[in-house]
Amino acid sequence: MARKSAWTKNIITYYKIVSNTPQMDVIKEFRDSLKGRKPSTIRVYLAAAERAVKMVNLSQSGSYTELLVWIHQNPPEKGARVTPFVKFLHERVTANRSAAAEEAKHIRESIVQLMGDSLRTQKNPTLASKRDLALIASLCSTPGRGNPRDWPRDCLRLEAGHVILWEQRIGEPAFALALRFWHAWRERLARPDQRRLYRKASQWSQANLLFPGPGGGRLSRAALNNALRRFLGGVGEGTPLTPQRIRAAFLAGARAESDTLPAL
């Protein structure tokens, strides 16, 4: 796989920092948000917030949303002055959603950039490296279809110069090129002379799977994780850039794109 750029390493480092940042104490965050108010007001609001969460294990609540839901399901007594704390939680939920959307966008842009860099800089790529890129391109292009290792061969085709995956035209050039290369190799190795030249068994060449294993059956369950590890060149080890995280990022992108389409 091509040498990874400093730009890519910086992105991986960013995710490592984000994933290892400990969560702050929600009461401390609420206290900080009250700066500038009268001390007596701060004491009343903090006491109400502490009473509201005293029955909650904050180490297990996991998010502002879960804490907010719990408070709604277990409303405090009348006159508890918990409204400012609830408003604070609503604001944090909104901010976190914006941050999550920005992070998903960053993941999508990172993968597209790295895919383009890999395709441009590879010299004499192996069949395995072509498969790695096509696997990742498949995952990103149609994330709602699950693991590409289970996909049939006929879900990928070329039509009028376009790459079609699951009846969807692939618009991202880097993904389309990776899939085009893989389609060409599957077609090439289906020919007996090319199969013998590249020492591929007929079970592999004639397999009905888009990404067959050595004997023509399914790839191992770890195939996608291994492809991603090689794609990242080992730089991303220990980061949240997993296939599941990448699929979620591209699903979010697809939803955001559909939400912005004009009504017919």
Residue 54's nearest CA partner among 32, 76, 33, 35 is 76
Contact between 4 and 232 under an 8 Å Cβ cutoff? The reply is: yes
Q: Is the pLDDT of residue 20 over 60?
A: no
**If you average pLDDT over every residue of the chain, what do you get?**
80
Q: Give the pLDDT of residue 54.
A: 75
State pTM to two decimals.
0.67
pLDDT by residue (tens digit) across 231-248?
Answer: 987 544 445 578 988 998
65 vs 232, which has greater pLDDT? 232
Residue 25's nearest CA partner among 71, 92, 78, 80 is 92
Residue 70's nearest CA partner among 84, 52, 87 is 52
Q: Give the pLDDT of residue 1.
A: 43
Cα 153 to Cα 71, 206, 260: the distances in Å are 50, 10, 32
Over residues 188-217, the mean pLDDT reads 86
Please state the domain extents for the chain. Answer: 1-121, 124-233
Q: Is the pLDDT of residue 123 over 90?
A: no
